[in-house]
Amino acid sequence: MLLEIFSDTVCPWCYIGKRRLERALHLRPQPGLVRRWRAFQLNPGLPTSGMDRRQYMIAKFGSLERAQRLYEAVSRVGAQEGIKFDFDRITRTPNTVRSHRLLYAAAEEDKQPELLELIFKSYFTEGRDIGDPDVLTELGGEAGLSDAAIADALVEGGRLDSAMTEDLQSRRIGINGVPFFVFNGRFGLSGAQEPEALLNMIDLAREEDAQKGVA
């Protein structure tokens, strides 16, 4: 069974959604389940170099105070999933194209979950610029990606078409917020859902497979 998760690397709810999915699979392991994270950009118009974090928050939320209140709420939920968000350490909101390129390459080497966890932690806990090729090169190495895969993903133009095709695909099928879970290409579930909701959708997809005689 294929589970596709559309997400962005600067989306805190996507980090929470990843942890909840992992908790669901720990509660009830799913043999044969293939997970694939797909690219979605929350801020596709950002410059390649990113944007000053304070300016970004004012533009997106109207004021720093409103942004702070929203992030405090996210931090409380994240703490319940073992995530220590430290939004104050983030000084720059990155363009996420390069991180999606690297994740696309990581999928081909079966290293996507490991790399995504490192990217999320680096950005949300350590405040690192995950749009910086040097940072991504380091994270790719930590995740166990080959030097060739990292270089191919981060060279200008490398993996761009493949990774961004996923972003275009998500918009064509009507996804306008992430995380968004797609089970076997047929059943969709929006948001950082609790494990019970995720497991219910997995059961539904497996029931359909059984009815069709799919192993």
Where are the strands (E) in the chain, listed by range?
A: 2-7, 34-39, 51-52, 92-93, 180-183, 187-190
Q: Which pLDDT belongs to residue 165?
A: 84
Q: Which pLDDT belongs to residue 157?
A: 64
Domains of the chain: 2-212 (3.40.30.10)
β-strand partners of 34: 2
C-alpha distances in angstroms, 99 versus 32, 107, 137? 27, 12, 10
pLDDT along the chain (215 residues), means of 10: 96 98 97 94 93 96 96 98 97 96 94 98 98 97 96 77 80 90 94 97 90 68
Q: Which two tokens stand for residue 39?
A: 């690219």
CA–CA separation, 37 vs 43, rounded Å? 18
85 within 8 A of 12, measured Cβ to Cβ: yes
Using the Cα atoms of residue 91, residue 97, residue 103 and residue 105 in order, give the sign of their dihedral. negative
Using the Cα atoms of residue 186, residue 164, residue 11 and residue 66 in order, give the sign of their dihedral. negative
β-strand partners of 37: 5
C-alpha distances in angstroms, 176 versus 11, 17, 40, 108, 126? 13, 16, 9, 26, 28
- pTM for the full predicted model: 0.94
